[in-house]
Amino acid sequence: MRCIVQLDIGPLRVEMVSRWLALNVALTLVACTAAAQVDSVRVDANDAPLGEVLNGFAAAHRIDVVYSDRQVSARRVTCMYTGTEVDAALACILAGQDLVARRIRRRQYVLSRVAGSDQGTASSAMRGLLRGIVTDAVSGEVLPDAHIFLSQFAVGTVTNEAGYFALPSLPTESFRLRVSFLGYGVADTVIAANGDLHAISLHPASVEAGEVIVQSERQEAAPVDPGALQVPVNEIQGLPGLPGEADLLQALRWLPSIQKVGAGEGGLIVRGGQPDQNLYLIDGAPIYHAWHAFNLLSVFQTEAFKNINLYQGTFPAEHGGRLSAVLDVELKDGSQEKLRALAAVGFLSGRFVFETPLARNLSAMVSGRRSFIDQILGTVHPVSNGAVRDTMRTGLYLYDLNGKITWRPSARHRLSLSAYGGRDVFDIRLPFDLALRFRTSLDVSSWLRPSSLFFEVDTRWSNRLLSARYQYQYRDRLFVTATGYMSGYSARERFYIRPVATSSVSSQYRVSIQDLGLKVDVDYYLFLTHQMRMGIRLVQRDFFSDLEALILRTQTSSDRSQEESRLNALEFVAYVQDTWQPTRRLKAQPGLRFSMLQRGTGMRLSPRLGLRYALDDVVLRGAFGVNVQYMHRIRDRYSYLYDLVSYRWVPASRSVDPSSSLHASVGAVHSPQPSLNLSLDTYVHVTRGLLLPRDEYQTKDGLEGPGIGLGALLGQYTSGRALAYGLEANVRWERGLHAAWISYAAGRSRSRAPELDEPRFRPTRFDAPQRLRLAVQRETLRWTFGLSGFWRSGYPITIPVARYAVGDPLDEEPTRFLYFPNINNGRLPPYLRFGGLVAYRFAVGQTQIRVQGQLYNLTLRRNVVDRFYDPSGVESVMVQSRRGLPAIPLFEIVATY
């Protein structure tokens, strides 16, 4: 059998792509190889034991016949067959017995009893259905994406969002099931395929209990979904690092595929993509701005979630709309058993999680987080200087609030309502000559004084989300999930600056995006080896921004700006995907996604494919997918009056193509022993329709700009292409009290704007060819000691290559300039940082308390994070380096009831 892999990458014929593909073709072929055709089938048995005949037949023809000893014991058969049909040969072997061999998939048969022999049929014997719901044994919470493995047939499945699974087309017998879920103990159980709904509970693993914890990437648990990774957040969030408290996106940095970069415009970069190419979902609804405090914290409070799935590079067909990654998290339903509570205070914020049953089949969860710096500094400061009084403000805070209520009126119905709200406020009014006082005292009042010259900044941004989900088990093999949601991001930048008593600049700029969406997903458990999922999505998006600004120079000289921009877009998506297990070793998930934006961008088809091939101790995996993103996140690059901290999402249109990408990856997971888990993946990611700055050197340097209109904004960008490729390795070792984690990534990320006549691809802003993370940990019943290190190549920097002087008719003498012929033509020095952690646990009554201290940047290394060149002097060009953070002590106290 030949397996042809054909990739259409359009006009972007990059040599690296073909080179990468050549390296991976061998691995891909392994997954596509089928066994040789059976040429002739021969059986010659004369009053021989049935078990022996079946074994010999299976071995001779390389097929798998599944049966129990009880079925074949004390049976003898006589059969003479010569031909080409395996089915006919098996029928010959079983002739006269009350047994039938049923083919459940290619080269695999199962023996089942023919009920009533004279009235039953083979198909009736295969109508057994094994189904159930997997829950947390402590809280009663359903567990999505738990792995169900039927070892007898080497068939597995995963639970859906309601924790439901079904394995149809089985003999009506009892089977041994292995059920596992990340962070939980494994459950082995025997249940009957009689169509009843079985409840299976998993116990959360704990260090105290010494249980076996399911690690990510364990062979039998390695998901087939393209790009999928179940995140072991409980493990990695305890590793040392900023901000020293539970935060999901900060924890994800420990995965080799992920970079957390920079303040302001930064975010998460997955496999060389861009921060705006990641989709963040809470209970199926998108969050547009996932960061607080200029990217120091994310909006994801880890303890509030029960299931965290990350899809890297390519996604199952049900997900889309972004090019790099999808982070899909589920809020906890709330404990159905008893009250549970968590309270914590850390370096930046305090937080809580509260779960409780409200009534029979009704539970709730509420969680929240708030920073407290404003409570220490104060927010409003009346100040006076003799007769002059003023009010200064230092209002800086952020908060998150999550809530979910879940109602299960019956086993077939489940309804949940989720809400999230979060906000950042940066509200300050300060005199201009603040600095001298600022450095001499920690008493805020002493920094301040009434002043006729001051600046006020009131910037706030927020996310709001409301999601309702209804899950309905329509038939035993048909499950419907409908989700309706509203989600929005809004930001307001307001400032008032008075640099001269009679002059001022005032501005108010607002930007928002609002989604109203509906999703319907249908799970259909077609056969034992086919599980279909299909669905539709309909999203109405409204984009808004407006600006009111007044620049008052003198009584007679002023400029006023008043602009408003409104856009909307309707996006429709339909998809279908099949999780298919054609052989014992091979599992595939092909899918097709159709999408369309009602702004003249045409229809797009996105094929997806996930493959998993299990060898004896290695699992090979591959993924391929085409992604389409109908929105671009851009910002004005000229004016200080708008887009200072906020971003604008703009929809694709006839004049601005959507971005699209092609992603392919191949990898392997290997567990040579239970305590050791190794994984290695390679990928290539090609992007088209990327918006790149038309003038990379342009920085905000003026009050007035081209305006907030879409045309003025898009005029600052040009269409570009990007190419990323790399290799990721992960090693996880755990034995007794000790654990170690090593993640290494090597890769390149480059972009090119053909319209700007760029001759070749250049490194993107955060291209880091090599990254290495290392963590070791010792954890006893009471103490945890951790040490971590992070090393990466320096980020690209644009280095001047020469200096020159040139004049202007209005200048008295020429000005000296630096010549930067190539963007990102050099690199900063490598970055290296270590961190240390000590934690102590103890109990007070029923409350578990964990006290944790960290030291960020343990070795006090001041990494170079930027470099500046000053050409103004006559002598050689001055080079100045900006250094990274010094050592920072961090603390956290967590109490769990």
Partner 1 sequence: MGFRRILIFLLFLLGCDSVQPEYTSWLVVEAFVTTEAPLPVIQLRRTQPLSVPYYLDESTAATGAELLLKLGSAEIPYVMEAPGLYMPAQQAKAKAGTPIGLHIAWNGQSILAESRIPPTLGLDSVSVARSQTPVAGLIVDSLFIDPILVDSLGFDSLRTGAREGLVYLVEATLHWSVAFAEVGPDSAWWVRTQLLPQLRAGGRLDDYFLRPEQLQRERQVNALVPGNRAWSGVYAVPVATQSDPIPVHTLRVSVIRSSRAYALYVSGRTNPSEREPPSNVTGGLGIFTGLAMDSLSITVQ
Q: How far is the CB of 424 from partner 1 (least distance, A)?
A: 13
The residue among 105 and 765 lying less far from partner 1, judged by its C-beta, is 765
Report 597-656 residues binding partner 1 (CB under 8 A): 640, 644-645
Surface-to-core class of residue 659, CB atoms within 10 Å of its CB (0-12 exposed, 13-18 middle, 19+ buried): buried
Tell me how far, at minimum, the Cβ of 436 lies from partner 1, in Å.
8
Residue 234: φ, ψ to 5°? -60, -30
Which residues from 792-811 bind partner 1, rule CB under 8 A?
793, 799-810
| Host H or E run for residue 601 | none
Residue 70: CB minimum distance to partner 1, A: 46
Contacts to partner 1 from residues 139-178, by CB under 8 A: none
Token duo for residue 536: 């539709």
Nearest to partner 1 of 388, 843 (CB atom): 388
Backbone angles phi, psi at 506, to 5 degrees: -125, 145
Binding segment (CB under 8 A) for partner 1, from list 168-176, 183-191, 814-822, 847-855: 814-822
Q: Which of residues 387-446 bind partner 1 (CB under 8 A)?
A: 432-435, 438-439
Site for partner 1 in 502-561 (CB under 8 A): 502-503, 505, 551, 553-554, 556-557
Tell which residue, 532, 543, 605, 595, has the closest CA to residue 568: 543
Q: Which of residues 665-704 bind partner 1 (CB under 8 A)?
A: 682, 697, 699, 701, 703
Distance, CA of 438 to CA of 223 (rounded, Å): 54
Contacts for 57 with CB less than 8 Å, ≥ 6 apart: 43, 63, 65, 89, 90, 93
Min CB(868)–partner 1 separation in Å: 6
If the CB atoms of residues 10 and 264 are measured against partner 1, the closer one turns out to be 264
What residues from 286 to 305 belong to the interface with partner 1 (CB under 8 A)?
Answer: 294
Nearer to partner 1, 214 or 425 (CB): 425
Q: Which of 494, 816, 850, 861 binds partner 1 (CB under 8 A)?
A: 816
- Decide: 164 and 479 in contact? Cβ < 8 Å: yes
Q: How far is the CB of 865 from partner 1 (least distance, A)?
A: 7
Site for partner 1 in 308-337 (CB under 8 A): none
CB of 876 to partner 1, least distance (A): 5
Shortest CB 692 distance to partner 1, Å:
17
**Closer CB to partner 1, 265 or 542, in the complex:** 265
Residues 93-122, mask of contacts with partner 1 (x by CB under 8 A): ------------------------------
Going 352 to 356 to 358 to 362, the CA torsion angle's sign is positive
Closest approach of partner 1 to the CB of residue 815, in Å? 6
User: From the CB of 798, what's the least distance to partner 1, in Å?
Assistant: 8
What is the CA 264 to chain-centroid distance, rounded? 20
* Residue 667 contacts residue 620 (beta carbons within 8 Å): yes
Q: Which residues pair with 341 in a beta bridge?
A: 354
| From candidates 4, 501, 844, 860, binder to partner 1 by CB under 8 A | 501
Amino acid identity for residue 542 in this structure: D
Taking the least distance from each CB to partner 1, the nearer of 817 and 897 is 817
Distance (Å, whole) CA 163 – CA 337: 17
Which of 243, 747, 786, 835: binder of partner 1 (CB under 8 A)? 747
Which stretch, 78-86, 314-322, 715-723, 742-750, contacts partner 1 (CB under 8 A)? 742-750
* DSSP three-state, residue 148: strand
Q: Tell me how many residues contact partner 1 (CB under 8 A).
A: 86
* Residues 755-774 interacting with partner 1 (rule: CB under 8 A): 762-763, 769-770
Report d(CA 860, CA 551) in Å as an integer: 45
Q: What tokens appear for 8 in the block?
A: 């259409």
Task: Single out the residue of 121, 375, 446, 452 in contact with partner 1 (rule: CB under 8 A).
Answer: 452
Task: CB nearer to partner 1: give 520 or 729.
Answer: 729
Give the one residue of 174, 820, 893, 896 binding partner 1; rule: CB under 8 A. 820
Pick the stretch among 29-37, 496-504, 574-582, 613-621 that binds partner 1 (CB under 8 A).
496-504
- Rule CB under 8 A: choose which of 23, 25, 376, 388 binds partner 1: 23
Cβ–Cβ under 8 Å, residues 35 and 74: no
Among 372, 819, 842, 891, binds partner 1 (CB under 8 A): 819
* Shortest spacing between CB 217 and partner 1, in angstroms: 19
Give the bridge partners for 613, in sequence order: 586, 620
Q: Compare residues 73 and 384 and give the one whose CB is closer to partner 1.
A: 384
- Binding part of the chain for partner 1, among 5-13, 171-179, 500-508, 560-568 by CB under 8 A, reads 500-508
To partner 1, the closest distance from the beta carbon of 813 in angstroms equals: 7
C-beta of 856: minimal distance to partner 1 in Å?
11
Query: For partner 1, what does the binding mask look like between residues 551 and 570, x meaning CB under 8 A?
Result: x-xx-xx-------------
- Both structure tokens of 312: 């890297």
Q: Segment 210-269, which members bind partner 1 (CB under 8 A)?
A: 262-265
Please state, in angstroms and rounded to a whole number, the distance separating the CA atoms of residues 484 and 540.
Answer: 12
Nearer to partner 1, 359 or 860 (CB): 860
What are 5's two structure tokens?
Answer: 């892999």
Binding to partner 1 (CB under 8 A): which residues in 704-733? 725-727
Tell which residue, 158, 164, 177, 162, has the closest CA to residue 133. 164
- Min separation Cβ 226 and partner 1, Å: 23
Q: Are 722 and 750 in contact (CB under 8 A)?
A: yes
Nearest distance, CB of residue 742 and partner 1, angstroms:
15
Tell me how far apart the alpha carbons of residues 887 and 890 are, in angstroms, rounded to a whole number. 10
CB nearer partner 1, residue 199 or residue 805? 805
How many angstroms separate the CA atoms of 463 and 419, rounded? 11
Nearer to partner 1, 294 or 527 (CB): 294
| Residue 290: CB minimum distance to partner 1, A | 18
Percentages of the chain per state (helix, strand, coil), in multiples of 5: 10, 55, 35
Residue span binding partner 1 (CB under 8 A) among the ranges 360-368, 523-531, 820-828, 853-861: 820-828
Answer for the pair 638, 702: CB distance below 8 angstroms, yes or no: yes
Angle at 639 between CA 655 and CA 500, to 5 degrees: 160
- By three-state DSSP, how is residue 756 classified? helix
Phi then psi dihedrals of residue 375, to 5 deg: -75, -25
DSSP 358: E
Terminal-to-terminal C-alpha distance of the chain? 59
CA–CA gap between residue 758 and residue 737 (Å, rounded): 54
Interacting stretch for partner 1, rule CB under 8 A, among 214-222, 369-377, 567-575, 812-820?
Answer: 812-820
**CA neighbor of 312 nearest in space, from 668, 764, 663:** 663
For residue 284, the 8-state DSSP code is: T
Integer Cα distance of 166 and 255 in angstroms:
32
* Cβ neighbours around 831 below 10 Å, total: 18
Answer for the pair 399, 375: CB distance below 8 angstroms, yes or no.
no
Cis peptide before 243 (omega within 30 of 0): yes
Q: Which residue has 């964990």 as its token pair?
A: 850
Which one, 119 or 557, has the nearer CB to partner 1?
A: 557
Work out how close the CB of 557 gets to partner 1 at its nearest, in angstroms, rounded to a whole number.
5
Cβ atoms of 243 and 296 closer than 8 Å: yes
> Looking only at residues 828 through 887 of this chain, which bind partner 1 when binding is defined by CB under 8 A?
865-866, 868-872, 874-877, 882-885
DSSP states of 653-690: -SSSPPEEEEEEEEEEEEEEETTEEEEEEEEEEEEEEE
Residue 451 makes contact with partner 1 by CB under 8 A: yes
Q: Which of 9, 343, 574, 746 binds partner 1 (CB under 8 A)?
A: 746
